[in-house]
């Protein structure tokens, strides 16, 4: 089977579809679906790393858009925060993607790893955090902090990307004071914007493999829809548990890269 100019075996197609579905489910619940989807794309014979990153963004934006709509219908997230935060993230992601080829990844991996360990320790040490929404600030201060978080995490997503959804969730919970379920709902809106910003830059470079991305994205959409419904049905406690699992896997993966 030829997809986007690449010869794919039936086994590879099945792997990509399953990875897209699993990534969509994980991403919808708490973020981090790229941990599953990107490695699967990198296994495709003949694909370059930049093509894999760009194609991953294409599939990702399909899934995050669906999960964002699903959450909105059931949770009704705070669009007064999520909207401006998403716009800041869109700009940040475009800037990060533009610099992605200029900055060495090995400079950032240790910093990201330390940040993730701190996030995991914080979440475990404070089990009541994220159970219910208790905003740290109101008005202009709340909005300015949200804009700064959106721009910073968006820049990171365009530049590197692993764990962006998880960083968004913990920023919304630990910094702004939202419950895990509300944070996950808002994170989908912001993450859709970061994917769009990065994809626009990659598309200008001719990097995405569109047919392959649409194929993986279709599976991602199904997983995202089911994941969002699961999170809404199970609540913040469930989202917190999945969050800790995803962050732990990300710590192990990044730690292995440093060895």
Rounded Cα gap, residues 33 and 57, in angstroms: 11
- The per-residue pLDDT for range 182-202, each reduced to its tens digit, is 999 999 999 999 989 989 988
Q: Could you give the number of structural domains in the chain?
A: 1
Identify which of 2, 4, 1 has the alpha carbon closest to the alpha carbon of residue 210: 4
- The per-residue pLDDT for range 106-148, each reduced to its tens digit, is 666 677 778 778 878 888 888 877 788 889 999 999 999 999 9
Q: Which residues form the domain of 211?
A: 2-258
Rounded Cα gap, residues 107 and 258, in angstroms: 11
Percent of the chain exceeding pLDDT 70 equals 95
Residue 36, pLDDT score: 84
- pTM listed for this prediction: 0.85
Check whether 227 has a pLDDT greater than 90: yes
In this structure, the chain runs to a length of 259
Q: How far is CA 24 from CA 2, 28, 56, 93, in A?
A: 24, 6, 11, 20
- The per-residue pLDDT for range 10-50, each reduced to its tens digit, is 888 999 999 999 999 998 988 888 878 888 898 888 888 88
Residue 30, pLDDT score: 85
């Amino acid at each position: 089977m030829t997809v986007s100019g690449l010869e794919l075996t039936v086994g590879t197609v099945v792997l990509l579809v399953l990875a897209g579905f699993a990534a969509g489910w994980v991403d919808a619940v708490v973020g981090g679906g790229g941990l599953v989807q990107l490695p699967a794309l990198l296994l495709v014979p003949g694909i370059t790393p930049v093509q894999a990153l760009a194609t991953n963004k294409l599939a990702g934006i399909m899934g995050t858009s669906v999960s964002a709509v699903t959450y909105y219908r059931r949770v009704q997230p705070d669009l007064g925060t999520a909207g401006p935060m998403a716009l800041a993230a869109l700009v940040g992601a475009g800037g990060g993607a533009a610099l992605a080829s200029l900055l060495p990844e090995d400079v950032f991996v240790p910093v990201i790893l330390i940040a993730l360990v701190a996030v995991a320790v914080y979440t475990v040490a404070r089990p009541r955090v994220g159970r219910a929404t208790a905003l740290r600030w109101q008005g202009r201060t709340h909005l300015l902090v949200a804009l700064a978080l959106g721009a910073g995490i968006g820049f990171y997503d365009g530049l590197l990307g692993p764990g962006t959804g998880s960083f968004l969730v913990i920023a919304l919970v630990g910094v702004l004071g939202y419950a895990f379920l509300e944070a996950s709902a808002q994170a989908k809106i912001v993450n859709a914007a970061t994917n769009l910003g990065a994809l626009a830059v990659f598309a200008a470079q001719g990097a995405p493999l569109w047919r392959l991305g649409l194929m993986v994205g279709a599976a991602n959409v199904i997983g995202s829809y089911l994941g969002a419904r699961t999170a809404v049905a199970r609540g913040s406690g469930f989202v917190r548990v999945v969050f800790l699992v995803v962050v732990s896997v990300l710590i192990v993966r990044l730690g292995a890269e440093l060895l």
